[in-house]
Amino acid sequence: MKVAIVDFDHYEMTYSLIKCLAVRTDAIDVYSTGEIIALLKKSQLPKKVSLCWFKTGDVAKLNDTFKTESAYDYVFLNTLNDHFPLANAFLDRLRSGNSKIILTLHNVNYWFTMARRLKVFKRPRNDEHRAMLKIAQKVDAYLVISENQKDYLKYDIGVKKKVIVFPYFIFEPQPQKVSVEKTNKLEIVIPGTLEYGRKDYEVAVEVFKILDKRLFKLVLLGHIKDEYGANILVECQKLQDEGLEVVWFSKYIQPDEFERVMTEADVVFAPIRVNTKHRGIAEVYGRTKATGAIFDLIRYSKPGVFPRSLHIPSEFQDSVVTYTTVNELKEVFNSMLQKRHLLALQAHAQKVSTKYAYANVAESLFQQLSTLN
C-alpha cells in the first residue's frame, strides 16, 4: 500500500498520520513545507517515508512535484486554505488514477456555509467558495479531528460522503526525564497564540485578580499576535507586580520549549471563545471545529479546565473541569490546590491518553479506510 500526505500547515497532524499509517503501508510520500519537513527530519521516521518539499501555499509547485506515476492507494489533503482553482486542477490529475482522496476539514462551516439570496435561495459565497465546493465534490471522503465535527457534517450539513475521524495528535509515552524542582504553586498553562478570537484571556486576568497569587503560577504558552494580546500582557504584568508568578514569551516558541513547559505544568487552562469566526464565517468550537487544547491534554496526559459551553468528548468527563463564571473558575483552581483532587484528575487524564496511543488510533484509521474500497 502506498500513501501520500499533503499538508501546508500542521506538523503535528502530519506526524500523527505518518506514525499510524506506517503500521501497514509499504511507502509514504509526504509533500509539505520546508518548516514542517525540517521538524519531521528531527523525528525518528521509518525508512519507508519520503519527504518532498514545496513552498507554502504553492499548489502549482506541488503539481510539478507530485509523483502521479506512484499510483497511491490513498492521498490525504490536509489544511488546504487557498489556491483552490489550482487545487482543483491538481485533483483532476489525481482522479485520473485509482487513488482514494481524503480531504481534511478543520473548519466545517467555512467549507459548506452558503450565501443566501432573498433569504431563500442558497448559492456559493464567491468564486473562491465555488472552487472549494468543487473540491469537496471530487474527493472520496472527508477527515475531521473530532466525533462532534463528524456528527455536525452528517446531521446538520447533510453530507453523504464517508467521514473519517482522526485525532490531531496521538499519545506517545515519553521517556522519564530528570524532574525539575517543583514549588508548592499550582502551575497553570494556557497554550496558544495570544490573539483575539480564539481564547478569552480576560477571564484569566479576572480570576487571578481574586485568587491568592502566592499559590499559583501562570504560563502563557504562545507569542503575541495582535494588539489584544499586547493588552493582555500589560494586565498580566500588573498581576505579576501584585505577586503572581507569570511567564510569557515574546516570540514564536520552538517545539522543544513548548514540550518542556507542557510537561512541567499541572493543568491546562483553555478559556475558549466557543463562538468564533474563520475568515468571516461563523464557527463553533467543539462542533464545527476542534480546539487543539483537547489534543494537548491527550499528548501530555494533563487535566484541563474549559468553559462549560464547549462540547467536550464524554471520555474527558473525569479529567476536565468546567466553569461558567469567574467565581466558579476561582473555586475550580482552589480545589486543585488539594493534592488528592489534583492527583485523581491526573490519573484520569493518563487513562484517556492511553486510548489515543498510536497502535489504537492506527487500528481505527485502517478500519475506516477499508470502508472506502
Q: What is the pLDDT of residues 198-242, one digit of tens each?
A: 899 999 999 999 999 999 999 999 988 889 999 999 999 999 999
Q: Which letter does DSSP use for residue 318 in this model?
A: T
Instruction: Tell me the pTM.
Output: 0.90
pLDDT, tens digit, 9 for 90 and up, residues 54-82: 765 566 666 666 766 568 899 999 988 77
**Cell of residue 259, nine digits:** 514540550
The DSSP call for residue 357 is B
Q: Give percent of the chain above pLDDT 90.
A: 71
Res. 119 pLDDT band, cuts 50 70 90: low
Average pLDDT for 128-145: 94
State how far the alpha carbon of 340 is from the alpha carbons of 296, 336, 344, 345, in Å: 23, 8, 6, 9
Say if CB 278 and CB 199 are below 8 A apart: no
Kindly tell me if the per-residue pLDDT of 268 is higher than 80: yes
pLDDT of residue 70: 66
Mean pLDDT, the chain, as a whole number? 90
pLDDT tops 90 at residue 133:
yes
pLDDT at site 228: 93
Rounded distance between C-alpha atoms, residue 30 and residue 38, angstroms: 12
- pLDDT tens-digit readout, 30-57: 998 888 899 899 888 989 999 988 765 5
* Residue 8 pLDDT: 78
Output the 3-class SS for 124-148: CCCHHHHHHHHHHHHCCEEEECCHH
CA distance 48 to 37: 15
Distance CA 221, CA 238 (A): 18
Asked if 2-170+358-370 and 186-355 have one fold, the answer is yes
| Superfamily classification of domain 2-170+358-370 | Glycogen Phosphorylase B; (3.40.50.2000)
Query: Domain limits of the chain?
Result: 2-170+358-370, 186-355
Class level of CATH domain 186-355 = alpha beta
pLDDT tops 80 at residue 21: yes
